Amino acid sequence: MRVSIYMPTKNRLATMQMAVNSVLAQTYQNIELLVVDDGSTDGSREYLKALEAREARVKVFLNSQSFGACYARNIAIQASTGEFLTGIDDDDEFMPHHIAALLDYWHFLEKYETVPVSCIFPQALSRVNSEYKLGQRRVRIAYQSLFEANYIGNQIFTRREYFINTQGFDESMPAWQDLEFFFRVVKTYGQARLMDIPTYIFDESPRADRLSVGKKQLISTSCRLMIEKHAANDPRQQQKLWLQVFSRHYGFKPDLLELLRFMRLGFWPGGYKRILKSYSLKFKYQVFQKKIIQKDYKELV
């Protein structure tokens, strides 16, 4: 039974090599690794072509220019031949037993679970530089839960046909591509289940290409697209998606107009409390910043 693994990559030669090696070192050997280089200029393409020539389990696709991670993932998904499919980011790693454990758990759920299961998501070890931390995740994720947060993470393991039938990743999404894809899979095929064994290492080390406070507009645009696709007629679910934008994960704070728009969606005491807390933190910071500026000015004059 073959398992396919997709990996988009761009200009991360060192971490990409580490990710590739972790896949090829799996204890379960009936795998194929599909790597899509999205226009690298750092030597990644040459490394991948040489790897493909000597390793039969590796398939390489070279984009002449950068079309984005979703485009790259979809190329690999369409070209995959395994019965099962999962992914890895080019700065993450698999533990050696990752694929074997996922397969065993899938077959266990098929035999004993009484409700439909759409996919498995692995417990992850978060790595910040050289320090590791075990993540806290829910065991069962229903479609409605994903309006609150992306409780799944960045990868799922499921049948290839589920990827194909739900049409892969939406290339129009500027962010939240994983979350939007998970919405469709879980809504169509049933709940997602956590495999509570840490077999995936997720890199969260600070880097210039990570989403930052300066990219609030990108996340806001993605939220609006999610609302159009999944919550156009449900104000409460719209509010939940907006609360994701202003969660501690991003550190974004709503402005007054965003606060008013949220409240116009309907009366929700719990939601009001959460977004007002975010707004008050922003206001307190602005007041503090103003006092510092005034203090500095007085000292200068």
> Is residue 137 a part of any domain in this protein?
yes
Question: Residue 184 belongs to what domain range?
Answer: 3-203
Cα 31 to the center of its chain, rounded Å: 23
3-class SS of residue 244: helix
Q: Give pLDDT, residue 287.
A: 40
Is the domain of 141 the same as that of 173?
yes
Among candidate residues 178, 203, 228, the one where a domain is terminated: 203
Is the domain of 238 the same as that of 91?
no
Give which of 49, 44, 40, 57 is closest to 18, Cα–Cα.
44
Q: 270: which residues sit within 8 A by CB, 6+ positions away?
A: none
Q: Give pLDDT, residue 207.
A: 66
| Identity of the amino acid at 10 | K
DSSP letter at 47? H
| String of DSSP letters for 79-143 | H---SEEEE--TT-EE-TTHHHHHHHHHHHHHHH-SS-EEEEEEEEEEEETTEEEE----SEE-G
Q: Give pLDDT, residue 209.
A: 59
Question: CA 225 to CA 37: how far, in whole Å?
Answer: 27
Q: Give pLDDT, residue 208.
A: 61
Is the domain of 159 the same as that of 43?
yes
Is the domain of 221 the same as that of 161?
no
Query: What's the chain's length in residues?
Result: 301
Q: 115: which residues sit within 8 A by CB, 6+ positions away?
A: 190, 191
Q: Give pLDDT, residue 299.
A: 43
Give which of 4, 26, 181, 179 is closest to 93, Cα–Cα.
26
φ/ψ region of 79 (left if φ > 0, alpha if ψ in -120 to 50, else beta) reads alpha
Is the domain of 44 the same as that of 175?
yes
Among candidate residues 203, 221, 245, the one where a domain is terminated: 203
> Is residue 208 a part of any domain in this protein?
no
Question: pLDDT tens-digit profile of 106-164?
Answer: 999 999 999 999 999 999 999 888 788 887 789 999 999 999 999 999 999 999 999 99
Question: CA 132 to CA 266: how far, in whole Å?
Answer: 41
Is the domain of 172 the same as that of 268?
no
CATH number at residue 173: 3.90.550.10
Overall number of domains in the chain: 2
Q: At what angle do helices 235-245 and 256-264 cross, to 10 degrees?
A: 150
Per-residue pLDDT tens, the chain, 301 aa: give them: 999 999 999 999 999 999 999 999 999 999 999 999 999 999 999 999 999 999 999 999 999 999 999 999 999 999 999 999 999 999 999 999 999 999 999 999 999 999 999 999 999 999 888 788 887 789 999 999 999 999 999 999 999 999 999 999 999 999 999 999 999 999 999 999 999 999 999 988 876 655 444 589 999 999 999 999 999 999 999 999 999 999 988 889 999 999 999 999 999 999 999 999 888 755 444 443 444 334 443 443 3
Among candidate residues 152, 184, 203, the one where a domain is terminated: 203
Q: Give pLDDT, residue 238.
A: 98
3-state DSSP helix/strand/coil percent for the chain, to nearest 5?
A: 50, 20, 35
**Between the CA of residue 142 and those of 109, 119, 197, 211, 233, what are the distances in Å?**
16, 11, 20, 26, 19
**Between the CA of residue 213 and those of 41, 246, 248, what are the distances in Å?**
28, 11, 11
Is the domain of 194 the same as that of 219?
no
Q: Give pLDDT, residue 297.
A: 34
Q: Give pLDDT, residue 249.
A: 85
Give which of 153, 150, 17, 260 is closest to 35, Cα–Cα.
17
